[in-house]
Copies of this chain bind each other. A is one copy, B any other.
Amino acid sequence: MTISASYLKEFTQQVFEKMGCPAEQANEAAECLNQADLRGVDSHGVARLSGYIRLWEQKRLNATPNMRIVHETPSTAVLDGDLGLGLAVAPHAMRIAMEKARNVGSGWVAVKNSNHYGIAGFHAMMALEHDMIGISLTNASPLVSPTFSKSRFLGTNPIAVAIPAGKETPLVIDMATTTVANGKLEVLQRKGEEMPVGWAQDKDGQATTDPTVLKKGGSMLPLGGDRLHGGHKGYCLGAMVDIFSAVLSGANYGPWVPPFVAFLDPPANPVGDGIGHFLGAFRVDAFRPADEFKAHMDNWISTFRNAEVSDGQSRVLVPGDPEREMTAERLANGIPVQQAVIEDLKSLAQKFNLSFDPK
């Protein structure tokens, strides 16, 4: 069924509050999941709400974290998230980064001891209203193999960058460093269709078109796919995200990153605390006057949007266009929620003695 964004946001916030989150964190976390649904990243929206609750029930998530800076310089900090909800830890880190940017031009906060932080773009976009460029990275449950390997050693490790513009809408990049997100394999499974080569490999590290391969010991491939198509570059990007998020902060990295799903135990002998994020902010006017920068961004954006279209295509997009258009559509018409997710939300309502009765 289709549910209004505001109804889903309100319900999500109530669930987080029932879990014990302070109201402000519950609000921010609900907004982060809601934005994922609005932007069309259904895998990171309300569909994931019960997953956070299961982590909390297993005491792998702390509803009332005492977040604290454990190390800092004028432009950098390490934040200990105290196992808080990543959805609320990351915005807190981003605010610290922006405060540092206000003071010295840029700010960078590596976060340890956190959990899944939702869509990377949400945190990066916090910078936009302050005329700052926002950057957001996180590591994640290992599902991806390095080039030439069949070990699952990296997460889908996203990179998000949000860049303000003037009259044009801001440019927002939010991309996994894999060829595709895991959710795309699930769509093909449901349809019973084959998967393109270059998305994932089988348990022996060989090319496959079987979209169920992850359940059979296979792994996802870094952006590019195989070596011939530049997959080693995707591996480099995933490695960079892992190191910035976790080796700089003191979180778990590589195969030690704890899984999001509560039915899998975290790896034994952790090398750090929780999962790691990396948030950054540049003040635009730390480089040139903001008006000047934004006028040139407008020119950049309109130039690229007006690039010559390939034969057979209808238009050229600028990073962030599809998500913004999806947001407008879903704000107007509601968010389609699958029946399995509806059942999930009803269970949560029952568990927490809440009403879930969307029109």
Contact = CB atoms under 8 A, between A and B. Distances in A.
B196 A229 contact: yes
Given A149-B307, A233-B223, A249-B287, A297 B243 contact: yes
Contact of A148 (B106, B171, B206, B310): B310
A247 B223 CA distance: 26
B223 A148 contact: no
Interface string A314-330: 11111100000000000
B201 A149 contact: no
A161 interface: yes
Interface residues of A, number: 90
B313 A243 contact: no
A179 B196 CA distance: 17
A127 to B, nearest CB: 14
Interface stretch (A6-14, A16-24, A51-59, A67-75): A67-75
A317 B73 contact: no
Nearest to A244: B133
Contacts of A145: 307, 310
Given A76-B287, A206-B312, 6 more contacts: A74-B105, A145-B307, A161-B236, A235-B319, A253-B300, A271-B296
Max count, chain B CB within 10 A of own CB: residue among A146, A205, A253: A146
A167 interface: no
Given A233-B223, A296-B271, A297-B243, A250 B308 contact: no
A341 B255 CA distance: 46
B236 A319 contact: yes
How many chain copies? 2
Nearest to A278: B287
Contacts of A299: 271
A310 B173 CA distance: 32
Nearest to A106: B75
Given A150-B309, A300-B253, A307-B153, A230 B180 contact: yes
B309 A149 contact: yes
A193 interface: no
Max count, chain B CB within 10 A of own CB: residue among A173, A178, A230, A292: A230
A275 interface: no
Max count, chain B CB within 10 A of own CB: residue among A179, A250, A307: A307
A247 B307 contact: no
A108 B282 contact: yes
